[in-house]
Structure 1
Amino acid sequence: MGNKNSDFDWVAPYYERIFRMPPSGEIKHWLKLPFKGWLLDVGGGTGRVAAGLVGTVEGIVVLDASIGMLRQARRKPGLFPVWGMAECLPFQTGKFTRVLMVDAFHHLKDQEAVLGELMRVLAPGGVLVIEEPDYHHWAVKVVALFERCIGMRSRFWYPEDIAARIKAMGYIPEIHKHGTTLRILVVK
């Protein structure tokens, strides 16, 4: 199934002190919450984003490949941490009415497979939101260079490329940009 050690295990105890929390109101808006059903936060790490969504859905699963990050998520009430790889999600088809991925897509090994898996586990009528840094911005390109220099395998995509892959699967993605952040929204 894969190595349960991750590039993020070492930073897990400090992660939420280093990285800002996206406003939960914006995430709720894009996911069209509250809503009946389950939410999957793929690459959700410590649960920093998902914790702000507790009570807006029936349950929240935080999936991550880092055991260290999931230990932090386990401390947050209302979250169900699950170890797994985004390229091969350990859930049945159509299980989740909402699927979220914040600032994780560029860290994944097989991004094409991940897009297929996100759509597979999303229920008909469900909403997928992928939030990523917008690679059109120079500041994001500097972050990408830094991540490569410290040995991370990050691969940033332009939003149009992510949207084109989703469109090729038969879905209609929307791209929303705000500063250096982009959101791709898909209703299945």
Structure 2
Amino acid sequence: MHGVGDVRFFDRVARLYDLAMPPAERGALLDGLSRAERPVEHVLDVGGGSGRAGVTLTAPDRQVTVVDVSGEMLSRARGRGLDCVRGDARTLPVADGAVDAVTVVDAFHHMPDQRAVLANVARVLAPGGAVVIREFDPETLLGRVVERVEDAVGMGSLFTGPDDLARAIERTGLDARVLDRGFGYTVVGVKQDNN
């Protein structure tokens, strides 16, 4: 789900990625999923890389599928027992209305055409389904540090604050709200039956 330069980086660091990254915010993700207006039986973890977030969402009654463009990261996710599909967030290889929820955890800023990504997410969500995006706020001190570090290593990251992200989600026709704020923030969007 990353820009071409970012994919090469993630392919190179896949073996070490989970050692450097903190665990995914399970509570925030589950809070976001609870906003869905339908049972959440199938989650598409877009840009899910090594499955770091996907494993926190697995449950006996829930299928989690990781979608990413980095083959090396997906091999890590497969090693965690997750279903994986290699694909681009701008053209998700999933039928219209096929999933109950989509998560994007610490990856949206790596996606070069964010408008197309959000439109595709809205397309694959079933009515009542929810998208939950966890991101880094570039207006916080730590967010500015992450932004500068990623720029220094040549990533094409595009960071967005929580309010701007909520507005972008609403432009796809979903009802959006900011669930929490800070260095790591959560925005959820729910697809209404009339979409």
Local SS of the residue matching 1:63: strand
Q: 1:155 to 1:84 in 2, by over 3 A?
A: same
Q: Scaled by the length of structure 2, what TM-score is found? A: 0.88
Deviations along 1:146-177, whole A, 9 cap, x unmatched? 11111111110122222222222222210123
Partner of residue 22, structure 1? 24
Local SS of the residue matching 1:61: strand
Partner of residue 94, structure 1? 97
Checking the alignment, whether the CA contact within 8 Å between 2:32 and 2:179 is kept in structure 1 is no
- Alpha-carbon distance in 2 for matches of 1:60, 1:106: 22
Larger RCO (CA under 8 A, 6+ residues apart):
2
Instruction: Figure out how many residues of one structure are paired with residues of the other and give that number.
Output: 185
Deviation at 1:56, TM superposition (A): 5.3
Q: State how 1:22-171 maps to structure 2 within 5 Å.
A: 22-32=24-34, 35-55=39-59, 57-77=61-81, 79-171=82-174
Name the amino acid aligned to 1:61. T
Choose 60-69 or 162-171, whichever is displaced more: 162-171
Q: Please, what is the CA RMSD of the aligned residues?
A: 1.9
Gaps of 5+ in 2: none
Aligned-pair identity (%): 37
Checking the alignment, whether the CA contact within 8 Å between 2:45 and 2:67 is kept in structure 1 is yes
Checking the alignment, whether the CA contact within 8 Å between 1:70 and 1:81 is kept in structure 2 is yes
Checking the alignment, whether the CA contact within 8 Å between 2:33 and 2:40 is kept in structure 1 is no
Name the amino acid aligned to 2:134. E
Q: State how 1:165-180 maps to structure 2 within 5 Å.
A: 165-180=168-183
Gaps of 5+ in 1: none
Checking the alignment, whether the CA contact within 8 Å between 1:40 and 1:96 is kept in structure 2 is yes
Checking the alignment, whether the CA contact within 8 Å between 2:102 and 2:121 is kept in structure 1 is yes
Checking the alignment, whether the CA contact within 8 Å between 1:35 and 1:56 is kept in structure 2 is no
Name the amino acid aligned to 2:22. R
Q: State how 1:2-17 maps to structure 2 within 5 Å.
A: 6-17=8-19
Q: Scaled by the length of structure 1, what TM-score is found? A: 0.91
